[in-house]
Amino acid sequence: MDSLPNPYSPEHPAPPAQFAGRRAQLTVFHEALADILAARPRNLAVPGAWGTGKTSLLLSCAAITAAEHAAFAPVALGGGIRGLPDLCATVAAQLGDAVQHHGVAETMREYLDTVSVSVHLGPMKMTRYPKHAADPLLLRFRETLTAAADHSPFIVAIDNAEYLQKIDGALMELRNAFQEVQSSGKSCMLLLAGSPNLFADRSIAAPASRFFEHTDLEAFSAEETREALTLPLGSSGVSMSDDCINAVHTLAAGHPWMVILTAYTLFRVRKTDRISETDLATAFPMIQSSVGRQVFDVLYRNAGENGQQILRSFARTDAVTLSSAEIAEISGVSNPHPYLGRMCERDPPLLEKVSRGKYRLAYPLLHAYLERKMREE
Ligand SMILES: Nc1ncnc2c1ncn2[C@@H]1O[C@H](COP(=O)(O)OP(=O)(O)OP(=O)(O)O)[C@@H](O)[C@H]1O
Ligand SMILES: [Mg+2]
C-alpha cells in the first residue's frame, strides 16, 4: 500500500520488544533466575515444536538476564558441531564472551588451546577422549564453568538442543558438569530449548531429562495471538480489526510462525490502515502458497502413499473430525492405525487426536492444501 516497512518477519525470532505472551514460561524463567542469583541451582528445558517460538523466548530470557547483570551465553546448535570436545569448546567460548573477565578469559583460552590441540591430533584421539571418565578436556570444561561462575552468575542457553542427541554422551556430560559445579554452590543454570523429542532416547537420557524442569511451548492462546499481531504495529498508525485478529488465530490454529507469516502477508496486501477480514481473503492464496512451499510440501512427500491417502480423506469431506473407521473407509487404507499414530507423534505433526479414535488435521491450512493437491493429481 505504501512504503511503511513491514514490521512482521516470519524468518526471524521476535525481538524482546515484540515478544508476545508466554507469561507462564517467563514467570518460570524469572523465578529460576532469582533462584540462581540466590545460589539455588535451577535448570530449565523448553520443549516446543518447530516455529513455536523457542529462539524468541531465549532472546527475551537473554534480555531479562542482562537486566539482572548476570551473564547469558547463547549456543545455537546445528549440524556443524562434530563431537563432545567441539561442543564443550563452543560453550566455553560463548561463556568467555559472556562473562568478559580477564581471569576467566585466561582459563577459557587455556581450555580452548587444549581442545584445539586434541582436535588436531585427529579423529582417533577425539573419539577416545570423551569415553574416558577422567578425560582432561572434560575436567578442564568443568574448571572453566567453575571459573566463570566465580566471576558472575551465568546461564548457558542451548538452542536447537535436540542436536545434543547426535553427539555421543553430550547430554549426560553437560548434566554431570553442571551438577558438579552447582553442587559446589556455584550460581549457574543450563537452559535447553529444542524439539519436543529433546529427550527422546529415554533409556540413556532419562536421568538427563530429570535434571531439568520442563516448561513446554505450545500454540498461542487467542490473547497471545492478539498481542503478537498488535505489538509490532506499535505507533505505525496501522491497526487490525478484532474480527481479523480472531480469524488469523483460527486460520493459524495459534501456531506462532503461521500467525506471523499471515500477519506479514496481511500487512503487504492491506488496502487501508485498518487491516480487516477482507484483506485476509485477499491474502489467503499467498499465505496458502507460502505455507505449502515452506512446510506442507515436504511433510506430504514424506508421508508415503498410505499416509497421503489418509490425509486426502480429510479433503474429501466437510467434516473436520473423522473416526479411524471413517478414515479407513474414505481412504481405502484398511488398517490406518499405525499411520495415524505416526502422523500425530511426528514433529511437526500432521494430525491431531481429538479424542479416542477421532482425528483432525493438525493445521486448518492443511485442508486447503490437500484440496489443491487432489485437484493437481
Ligand atoms: N512470543 C512470541 N511473540 C511474537 N512472535 C513470536 C513469538 N514466538 C514466536 N514468534 C514468531 O514466530 C516465528 C517463529 O519463532 P521462533 O523462530 O522463535 O520459533 P522456533 O521455535 O525457534 O522455531 P524453529 O523450530 O524453526 O527453531 C517468528 O516469526 C517469531 O517472530
Ligand atoms: Mg529456533
DSSP codes joined into one string, 314-371: HHTSS-S-EEHHHHHHHH--S--HHHHHHHHHSSS-SEEEEETTEEEESSHHHHHHHH
CA 34, 188, 57, 105 torsion-angle sign? positive
Q: pTM for the complete prediction? A: 0.88
Nearest CA to ligand 1 atom 9: 53
Higher pLDDT, 1 or 288: 288
CATH 3.40.1350 fits 303-376, yes or no: no
Ligand 1 atom with the shortest distance to the CA of 56 = 18
Ligand 1 atom with the shortest distance to the CA of 260 = 29
Using only the alpha carbons of the chain, give its radius of gyration. 24
311-365 pLDDT per residue, tens: 999 999 888 899 999 999 999 998 999 999 989 988 788 999 999 989 999 988 9
Q: Which of 239, 221, 228, 299 is nearest to 262 (CA)?
A: 228
Cα 233 to averaged position of ligand 1 atoms, centre (Å)? 17
Q: Angle formed by the axes of helices 202-210 and 170-183, to 10°?
A: 30
CB burial string 86-122: b at 16+ within 10 A, e below: bbbbbbbbbbbebbebeebbebbeebbebbeebbeee
Cα 231 to averaged position of ligand 2 atoms, centre (Å)? 20
**CB atoms inside a 10 Å sphere around CB 174:** 26
Does residue 242 have a pLDDT over 60?
yes
188: left (phi over 0), alpha (psi -120 to 50) or beta: beta
pLDDT at residue number 121: 36
CATH number of 222-300: 1.10.8
Which amino acid is it at 36?
A: I
Mutate to test the pocket of ligand 1, among 19, 29, 55 (most ligand atoms within 8 A of CB): 55
Q: Which residues pair with 158 in a beta bridge?
A: 75, 192
Average pLDDT value over all residues in the chain: 87
Does residue 136 have a pLDDT over 50?
yes
Spatial neighbors of 106 by CB under 8 A, at least 6 apart, are: none
Q: Which of 32, 76, 33, 34 is nearest to 54 (CA)?
A: 76
Indicate the domain borders of the chain: 22-214, 222-300, 303-376
Determine if ligand 1 sits within 6 Å of the CB of residue 53. Answer: yes
Considering the domain 22-214, what is its CATH architecture?
3-Layer(aba) Sandwich (3.40)
